[in-house]
Amino acid sequence: MSAGHTAVTTPGASAGEPVISCETPQDECGVRDVLDRLGDKWSVYVVVELASGVLRFKELQRRIHGGISQRMLTLTVRRLERDGLVKRTVYPTIPPQVEYELTEMGHSLTHLVKSLADWSIAHRPAIAEAREAYDARPAEDVRT
């Protein structure tokens, strides 16, 4: 609670009262920070996989189903490590062995990821429906 101010009221009401307000609107109360971290293609996958325990590089790569390349996995874990969300441990053995695990802060992020997942699952049908309705309309259907 040091930077920026955030306030909410019940969002069920259509509009009128402020739901989110920031003293520094430029950086959106800092939401942008998290989004930049989670918005890329692979970070969330890595966090989710590491949520259940320590993993080595190759094992981590195998578990990510989309088929992440070595390069992208390296970039992703490096970013997460730099932000203090992932701890990287190198054992100078032959062959080399590197282990990755979430830090405390990284684990706290899994809460957010779960919230996102829950919201997504809950609203997926509604979103799919909205998309179909939108895509199916005659293109001049933009009146009130």
76, 77, 96: which is closest to 87 by C-alpha? 77
97 binding a copy of itself? (CB under 8 A): no
Please choose, out of 20-28, 58-66, 101-109, 117-125, the segment that lies near DNA by the rule CB under 7 A: 58-66
Query: Binder to DNA among 58, 114, 124, 137 (CB under 7 A)?
Result: 58
x/- letters, 40..79, toward a copy of itself (CB under 8 A)? x---xx--x--xxxx--------x-xx-------------
Contact with DNA (CB under 7 A) among 6, 21, 69, 108: 69
Q: What value, to the nearest 5°, has the Cα angle with vertex 41 and ends 101 and 56? A: 25
Q: SS3 breakdown of the chain: % helix, strand, coil, rounded to 5?
A: 50, 10, 40
